[in-house]
């Protein structure tokens, strides 16, 4: 489960991505999206846990100033999974060029 501060950060990333401020890199081979700014880098990785049979996300936050990486986890059994899924979908489509 994401800590409240991280969940709020994810919600803000969704807003800024939807507004066009951020364009993410989508890596379909590894099921992750990446955003790099001057101050931080964020990776959001999706995987399916075949043993417990649920989807899960791991968010990696790298602080450029402190040179530290932080990891946060959620899965389908927790209420913040939908927020992580929304960010993943919005980020995945942020760099997509559609015909209309």
Are 46 and 57 contacting, i.e. CB atoms less than 8 angstroms apart? yes
Q: Can you give the pLDDT at residue 37?
A: 96
Residue 6: Cβ within 10 Å count: 18
> What is the DSSP annotation of 37-100?
-SSEEEEEEEEEETTTTEEEEEEEEEETTTTEEEEEEEETTSTTHHHHHHHHHHHHHHT-----
Ordered per-residue pLDDT tens for the chain, 100 residues: 999 999 999 999 999 999 999 999 999 899 999 999 999 999 999 999 999 999 999 999 999 999 999 999 999 999 999 999 999 999 999 988 888 8
Q: What is the pTM of this model?
A: 0.92
């Amino acid at each position: 489960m994401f800590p409240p501060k991280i969940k709020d950060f994810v919600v803000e990333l969704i807003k800024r991505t939807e507004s066009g401020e951020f364009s993410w890199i989508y890596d379909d081979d590894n099921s992750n999206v990446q955003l790099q700014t001057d101050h931080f880098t964020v990776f959001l990785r999706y995987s399916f846990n075949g043993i417990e049979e649920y989807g899960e996300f791991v968010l990696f936050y790298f602080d450029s100033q402190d040179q530290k990486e932080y990891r946060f986890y959620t899965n389908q059994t927790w209420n913040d999974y939908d927020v992580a899924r929304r960010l993943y979908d919005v980020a995945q489509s942020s760099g997509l060029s559609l015909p209309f």
